[in-house]
Amino acid sequence: MNGKYSREISVAAALGLLLVALALFAPNFYELQPLLSRTTSQMPALVAAIGITLVIITRQIDISIGAQFSLCGVVAGLVAAAGMPLGVAVLAAVGAGAFLGAFNGLLVAWLGLPSIVVTLATMVTWNELLRLWQQGRFMNLPAGFQWFGLSQAAGQGVVIGVAVALLLAAAWSMKNLAAGRRVYATGTDAEAARLAGIDPKWTTFGVFVLMGALAGIAATLNLVQSPQVQPNAGDGLELKVIAAAVVGGVAINGGRGNLWGVLLGLLLLANVNPALTHFKMEPYWERAIQGLVILLAVIADGMKRTKKAA
Amino acid sequence: MKRILCTLALCTVPFLSACKKSGEAAGGDDQLTIAFLPKSKGNQYFVTCEKGARAAATELGAELLFDGPTTSDPAKQNEIVENWISLGVDVIAAAAENKDGLSTALRKAQAEGIKVITYDADAQPDARTFFVNQATEKGIGDALLDNAAALVGKEGEFAIITANLTASNQNAWIAAIKARQAELYPNMKLVDIKPCDDLKDKAQQETTNLLSAHPNLKAVISVCSPGVPGAAEAVKQAGKTGVVKVVGLGLPSENKAYVKEGVTQAVILWKVEDLGYLTIQAAAALAKGELKPGATEFKAGKLGTMKIEGDNILLGTPFAFTKENIDQFDF
């Protein structure tokens, strides 16, 4: 398949096929309440995926986002448990996330260290510090914190609304704001970007800070969905969102990709598991199928590149 | 000599209030020194174990040394055992973080004439005389299914949430559940087993899917602790509180809210304080020569007579924490 949006179209087709199969063979999938709960529970990953998309387009990677997510959740939980209002807890989570992101960004942008090594190190460090600090204990949140103190349906609506608003804002900014174009330019060719008057260091730093802040928002959106925080809630989140970005057509070597593809990639990967349950298939298939989807995406990327080179 | 050791220990081991007190009370050289090693000492589970251990030590007039790594750290466990060997304690009761790693240190202790007993997590059989087994695989599986069966009137579909599909503990419990179901509850049907990667949120998503994929589901049994509140939240969000029963293996503190709301009906676990108590009773009896290999039962103070199977001292059937009793427990 050719054309600018070939990836988006093929992922959308695969997702459409899955959804049609579910409609035909497992209509229970479309019951309103489980659909709403299922969608709401994917929103934190969507918000984190916005951040990782920016990071990958800048030709970097951040595998510490799961750890950032866990840490931000605990920070927000502690603030909430101390009796502070919700807004303060959200600010604390976003602040903590931005700080952790700035730490990564500083090392990557100004010391020129490879982001995979930096964020691997920070991932392990934050996770171990959390373990030491919280000893794996669940933290109970004050009553009225869940669903922002609203009804369940309204709370779910707010969670979905916030995530979708962030997605729209980010997609619009990447296309229409100078900052968005700087991100693409830095990822395509940092040297050329510099000659064009863009500071790739500040751009990279900014993207990591934004990633951290988004991890903080994601953690809060997760926090309000239950009355407790698990201190390692972010375990495995990095794989999930990086996979969504890759499947969604974000080039792992930077400069290319958009959020609509990532949204489709996330929806496709996230629906494999519920589909298996509804088709009464063995859970062993989940990882195998997700792996296959990622592999197909990577192969498609590879073929595209070879074709261009030829 | 013991007094000197006691002073020495004070320099290295922080928790020694019992040492001084019991040292004065019993006096003399025949007073027992029992060293009690948790997997990690900041962990609420082992703090609760220690509570029971202290009660037993006080009853027995023995010195209790309690020390462990601050976080899961097998190397630190060995270091502590080495210290106890040079202190010359009478008996060591240990929960092994790393089976083989700790066994080497425990064998060394045995070679120095120190009696060794394990609890909670066993070492190699030749590195200790007895293992205080908090619950057998069958005991846990039976307790989970029996509680679920009683709640659903012994019939209907149920599903299991596990940690991951290769976890050996969980798979043994699931096997016990399947065997029990085939034997006693022919009208119950296991429809699915889902892994939650030990994550509460994943357990919630899996349970949400199970509830819509199996509209006749009557119960969810979680064999991993993060799965219990996760399953409960899904049942609650689905508006099926009380319609779909939730039973699982977990800590009372993590489930209190859901149990009180009536979303989760039973949380299964052994009484952790009793585990510490029984361990110290057995350790003391072993050191005094009252408990010997080959014994089939053993009198453990206020707990009464406990069964011994092979070299496993059994704490007995697990306990069900329910709406009625969960407030009495804080671990």
**Average pLDDT for residues B62-88, to the nearest whole number?**
91
Residue of chain B nearest A230, judged by CA positions: B200
Residue of chain A nearest B159, judged by CA positions: A277
Best of B43, B48, B174, B212 to substitute, by most chain A Cβ atoms within 10 angstroms, is B212
Residue B331 has pLDDT above 60, yes or no: yes
A308 exposure class (CB count in 10 Å sphere: 0-12, 13-18, 19+): exposed
Q: How far apart are CA A31 and CA A33, in angstroms?
A: 6
Residue of chain B nearest A236, judged by CA positions: B197
Residue B37 has pLDDT above 90, yes or no: yes
**Average pLDDT for residues A225-249, to the nearest whole number?**
95
Lowest mean pLDDT among A207-211, B1-5, B138-142, B311-315: B1-5
Q: How far apart are CA B222 and CA B193, in angstroms?
A: 10
Instruction: Check CB contact under 8 Å for A41 and B205.
Output: yes
**Average pLDDT for residues A49-54, to the nearest whole number?**
98
- Scanning chain B, the segments in alpha helix (DSSP H) are 2-12, 17-26, 44-60, 74-87, 99-111, 137-152, 168-184, 200-213, 227-237, 252-261, 272-288
Per-residue pLDDT band for B181 (boundaries 50, 70, 90) equals very high
Q: How far apart are CA A56 and CA B51, in angstroms?
A: 52
Instruction: Check CB contact under 8 Å for A29 and B215.
Output: no
Give the strand pairing for B130-133 and B312-314. Answer: parallel
Best of B70, B208, B261 to substitute, by most chain A Cβ atoms within 10 angstroms, is B208
Q: How far apart are CA A309 and CA A301, in angstroms?
A: 12
Q: How far apart are CA B166 and CA B224, in angstroms?
A: 13
**HSE, side-chain direction, 13 A CA sphere, residue A21:** 13
Domain B137-269 has CATH 3.30.565.10: no
Instruction: Check CB contact under 8 Å for A28 and B192.
Output: no
**Average pLDDT for residues A238-262, to the nearest whole number?**
95
Residue B28 has pLDDT above 70, yes or no: no
Stated as kind and residue range, the H or E segment containing B298 is: strand B297-299
Residues 6+ apart with CB under 8 A from B148: B158, B219, B221, B245, B247, B266
**Average pLDDT for residues B117-144, to the nearest whole number?**
94
pLDDT at A132: 82
pTM here is: 0.86
- Comparing CA positions, the residue from B125, B123, B18 lying closest to residue B78 is B123
Chain B environment of A226 (Cβ under 8 Å): 200-201, 204, 229, 233
The verdict on ipTM greater than 0.85 is yes
Percent of chain B with pLDDT over 70: 91
Best of B171, B205, B255 to substitute, by most chain A Cβ atoms within 10 angstroms, is B205
**Average pLDDT for residues A75-97, to the nearest whole number?**
95
Instruction: Check CB contact under 8 Å for A226 and B206.
Output: no
Q: How far apart are CA A48 and CA A212, in angstroms?
A: 9
Q: Write the single-letter amino acid at A206.
A: G
Q: How far apart are CA A61 and CA A114, in angstroms?
A: 9
**Average pLDDT for residues A206-222, to the nearest whole number?**
98
Chain A environment of B171 (Cβ under 8 Å): none
Chain B environment of A29 (Cβ under 8 Å): 212-213
Task: List, for residues A120-169, the tens digit of each pLDDT value.
Answer: 999 999 999 998 888 778 999 998 899 999 999 999 999 999 999 999 99
The phi and psi torsions of B73 (rounded to 5 degrees) equal: -155, 95
Topology, domain A6-309: ABC transporter involved in vitamin B12 uptake, BtuC (1.10.3470)
Instruction: Check CB contact under 8 Å for B194 and A137.
Output: no
The phi and psi torsions of B34 (rounded to 5 degrees) equal: -110, 125
Residues 6+ apart with CB under 8 A from B327: B256
Domain at B2-135+272-316: CATH code:
3.40.50.2300
Asked if the domains B2-135+272-316 and B137-269 are classified in one and the same CATH topology, the answer is: yes
- Scanning chain A, the segments in alpha helix (DSSP H) are 6-25, 32-57, 65-81, 86-105, 115-134, 152-176, 178-188, 190-195, 200-223, 237-247, 259-278, 285-309
Instruction: Check CB contact under 8 Å for B200 and A138.
Output: yes
Per-residue pLDDT band for A307 (boundaries 50, 70, 90) equals confident
pLDDT at B232: 98
Per-residue pLDDT band for A303 (boundaries 50, 70, 90) equals confident
> How much is the mean pLDDT over chain B?
89
Instruction: Check CB contact under 8 Å for A34 and B254.
Output: no
Instruction: Check CB contact under 8 Å for B208 and A34.
Output: yes
Instruction: Check CB contact under 8 Å for B229 and A33.
Output: no
Chain A environment of B215 (Cβ under 8 Å): 28
Instruction: Check CB contact under 8 Å for A41 and B197.
Output: no
Shortest CA gap B3–chain A (Å): 35
pLDDT at A301: 83
Residue B313 has pLDDT above 50, yes or no: yes
Residue B270 has pLDDT above 50, yes or no: yes
Residue among B40, B204, B254 whose CB faces A138 most closely: B254
pLDDT at A3: 66
Shortest CA gap B41–chain A (Å): 10
Best of B190, B237, B246 to substitute, by most chain A Cβ atoms within 10 angstroms, is B237
Report, in angstroms and rounded to the nearest whole number, the Rg of chain A calculated over CA atoms. 20
Distance of CA A159 to CAs A41, A51, A71, B74, B191, Å? 9, 17, 20, 42, 32
Shortest CA gap B282–chain A (Å): 29
CB contact at 8 A, B37 and B94: yes
Residue of chain B nearest A31, judged by CA positions: B212
Return the biggest CA–CA distance within chain B.
Answer: 70
Chain B environment of A140 (Cβ under 8 Å): 257
A152-185 core/surface letters (b: 16 or more CB in 10 A; e: else): beebbeebbebbeebbeebbeebeeeeebbbbbb
Shortest CA gap A234–chain B (Å): 9
Instruction: Check CB contact under 8 Å for A283 and B194.
Output: yes
**Residue A284 DSSP class:** T
Residues 6+ apart with CB under 8 A from A172: none
Residue A87 has pLDDT above 50, yes or no: yes
pLDDT at B314: 94
pLDDT at A309: 67
> How much is the mean pLDDT over chain A?
94
Q: How far apart are CA A216 and CA A68, in angstroms?
A: 7
CB contact at 8 A, A53 and A46: no
CB contact at 8 A, B172 and B137: yes
pLDDT at B225: 92
Percent of chain A with pLDDT over 70: 98
Instruction: Check CB contact under 8 Å for A28 and B254.
Output: no
Instruction: Check CB contact under 8 Å for B43 and A138.
Output: no
Residue of chain B nearest A275, judged by CA positions: B209
pLDDT at A2: 53
Residue B307 has pLDDT above 60, yes or no: yes
Task: List, for residues B192-251, the tens digit of each pLDDT value.
Answer: 999 999 999 999 999 999 999 999 999 999 999 999 999 999 999 999 999 999 999 999
Instruction: Check CB contact under 8 Å for B229 and A226.
Output: yes
Chain A environment of B241 (Cβ under 8 Å): none
Instruction: Check CB contact under 8 Å for B257 and A284.
Output: no
pLDDT at B74: 85
Residues 6+ apart with CB under 8 A from A32: none
Residue with tokens 């100078």: A178
Shortest CA gap A276–chain B (Å): 9
Task: List, for residues B239-265, the tens digit of each pLDDT value.
Answer: 999 999 999 999 999 999 999 999 999
Instruction: Check CB contact under 8 Å for B209 and A38.
Output: yes
∠A35-A41-A44 over CA atoms, to 5°?
Answer: 140
Q: How far apart are CA A146 and CA A131, in angstroms?
A: 24
